[in-house]
Structure 1
């Protein structure tokens, strides 16, 4: 049997998740007497008997053991929690998860150096994951709005936890002293939002540096939230408004292509490749097959208002390249009514409609069935195909 190899992004996600679990475990095992250690690590179910139900919230949040917790290892726990969440995003190859994971793994390595915890399993695994992420960066090419929102919320939550418990750890270095979690939480929110009422002031160098870090991280987190979550929503709507209201102001010396047929798409490609500006009009509600960034309008190309918005008064030519020959005829008539001096070009998809389309008198008729048949016959018979012959076939479809 043929063995199925796991994709690289899945392997990296698993390694990142393991690294996060190890970081979390290394911190939890440093908290003596916690509920998690008693119940799940030591299996001591009698720990529940020691809990007063009235004080359960205080016990769960560790208020009775705050002084015994080594807060210097709290950042490792936050990074481990973040890596677990990011591993889920790596599985779906989210680009945002890839970027956040790089930052978190780098932060984990820096924290290890700061705590003099070097060359342990988590440190080595972090470096390995960093290398794999950089080597396989092409694997993470999916933009996910949901993933970006999730990781932004995780970052804000981690910052709140860092600021709150960091304030508790340095509580005696503030004036007045911070001795309870509600006050620490209040100071964290006020500092993160840069409000700064001044009722609690850091008085030592460590406390001031910590407060400065909370301010910097807070500004960064909220700015990222606005950019990642709100930015695409506002930016997309603004782009549509600008495209609808202001793009037509700069339409000048351009070609107007009406239709989304293969011929229209190829003409648009060749004209833009040569540096000519092109405005495309496709039917309302129809799919847009043109490349992103193309100047595309939705509407009826035979409507005077639509042609005016497309800038027909300043256009070099109007190309009616719809799949329906009758619609092409109406487009030519509307164009001649609004801007008689503008050149009109129409395509004929059925040769039996050629004579009818001639009656609306476009400046040029392009009939692929007629032109293709004539050129193929001349080539097979050995006749000369010169520029004069091609132009005769194009202009008014004379045969």
Structure 2
């Protein structure tokens, strides 16, 4: 019995070496262009984030042993564990290093707050490293200088408002202030009544002073202790106020902005066109109307990707609900175009529009020519049937029949 082999089952001959080389070369070239494009878009912030991470690690590394010993001495002996200023010298390096490392996610997100803190911390890092090296150049100075230079060169790339970066800023500010207050209270502990001798007491007094509660159970009686307390109050109020403005401000501002923009858009939605749908035809129609300077509002279905840009006036909701149509300004619209991919959904949308605003012109798109008569039953003002247009124009061209503007209009918009 003879068997037949379909074309799909026939094995394809292998490509010649020259063809395989061209295919490989094309793929490598495409991958290289894509990589270069990604590097051009995201390379600077990745480089800056890497420099921040490296600078933070270099700042912390050499001071880790000294800081660890100082912390152990303070935990074990309280104020007596601080034998001199050298025991506290490691903390600024570590705080700056931790701050730079915490800024890495914000820099990758191109957050403006992370950029500001990065500039401040890199400048402090360079200055502290120069002071420690007695004016010499070492790895910390070089990395800090490179980081500061890169941040200043790519300022325009960091323009986003990031809640995550703002939270890191708040964490860094409050943490640094707690360390400053606790260690300073221990250092000037003898100038208080009763004296501050232990780490828990120093931490308690720091919280009490920064919050401006002031129970009066611990009172400074020397000039040094009083000046340090004043510095804690001033810095504490400044840090908490800045933290509230940075973290809570964008949340309140964003909500207020969305509310005002929504109200302004609702007031401006009149004498406009409403497009229902997110199909390719709906996008093409929006683009054409927008190019003519005509105001357009789109009602896009939820759960589907939207082809429209962020600048478009898009409402994502059910187009058959009266609340959605009211929000889109359908009663004040010049016309409503139902251009969804499903003809049944277009028919339901026409019915909803006619129920809410009978005087508004409705144009119903038809995706399947077999549904033309069915959609006629919902009585849209105009039927938009591109398939009929294409077939009848082609037939007229084949039979050399004349085609003018009135003919095209009749074919494109057959009256119901």
Q: TM-score range by the shorter chain?
A: 0.7 to 0.9
Q: Name 1:226's counterpart in structure 2.
A: 248
Query: Which residue among 120, 135, 138 is the counterpart of 1:118?
Result: 135
> Is 1:291 matched with 2:327?
no
Number of residue-to-residue matches in the alignment: 370
Q: Name 1:41's counterpart in structure 2.
A: none
- Whether contact under 8 Å (2:320, 2:348) holds in the other structure is yes
Between 279-288 and 155-164, report the one with greater CA deviation.
279-288
Query: How far apart in 1 are the matches of 2:213 and 2:63?
Result: 32
Between 254-263 and 114-123, report the one with greater CA deviation.
114-123
Q: Name 1:107's counterpart in structure 2.
A: 124
Query: Which residue among 351, 359, 363 is the counterpart of 2:381?
Result: 363
Q: Pairwise mapping of residues 12-91 of structure 1 onto structure 2 (< 5 A)?
A: 12-28=48-64, 34=70, 58-59=75-76, 63-70=79-86, 71=88, 74-87=91-104
- Whether contact under 8 Å (1:348, 1:367) holds in the other structure is yes
Q: How far did 1:138 drift? A: 8.1
Measured against aligned partners, the alpha-carbon deviations of 1:209-267 in whole angstroms (never above 9, x if no partner) come to: 56533432332234334347xx2xx6777777778888645532222211121111222
Query: How far apart in 2 are the matches of 1:269 and 1:249?
Result: 23
> Are residues 14 and 237 of structure 1, via their aligned partners in 2, closer, same or farther at CA, if it must alter by over 3 Å?
closer
TM-score for both structures, normalised by structure 2: 0.70
- Whether contact under 8 Å (1:358, 1:396) holds in the other structure is no
Q: What runs of 5+ residues in structure 2 fail to find an aligned partner?
A: 1-27, 29-34
Query: How far apart in 2 are the matches of 1:273 and 1:32?
Result: 66
> Are residues 386 and 183 of structure 1, via their aligned partners in 2, closer, same or farther at CA, if it must alter by over 3 Å?
farther
Q: How far did 1:169 drift? A: 3.5
Query: Which residue among 234, 239, 254 is the counterpart of 1:217?
Result: 239
> Is 1:340 matched with 2:358?
yes
- Whether contact under 8 Å (2:301, 2:317) holds in the other structure is yes
Between 140-149 and 205-214, report the one with greater CA deviation.
140-149
Query: How far apart in 2 are the matches of 1:332 and 1:173?
Result: 82
Q: How far did 1:66 drift? A: 1.8
- Whether contact under 8 Å (1:174, 1:203) holds in the other structure is no
Measured against aligned partners, the alpha-carbon deviations of 1:95-154 in whole angstroms (never above 9, x if no partner) come to: 245554333212323445777953442223201122234446688899876565455424
> Are residues 183 and 342 of structure 1, via their aligned partners in 2, closer, same or farther at CA, if it must alter by over 3 Å?
same
Query: How far apart in 1 are the matches of 2:46 and 2:299?
Result: 44
Query: Which residue among 88, 109, 134 is the counterpart of 1:94?
Result: 109
What secondary structure sits across from 2:82 in the alignment?
A: helix
Q: Name 2:296's counterpart in structure 1.
A: 278
Measured against aligned partners, the alpha-carbon deviations of 1:144-201 in whole angstroms (never above 9, x if no partner) come to: 7656545542443223212322343455677876554334323432444455667646
Measured against aligned partners, the alpha-carbon deviations of 1:319-338 in whole angstroms (never above 9, x if no partner) come to: 11111223323322332333
CA RMSD of aligned residues (A): 4.4
> Are residues 220 and 194 of structure 1, via their aligned partners in 2, closer, same or farther at CA, if it must alter by over 3 Å?
farther
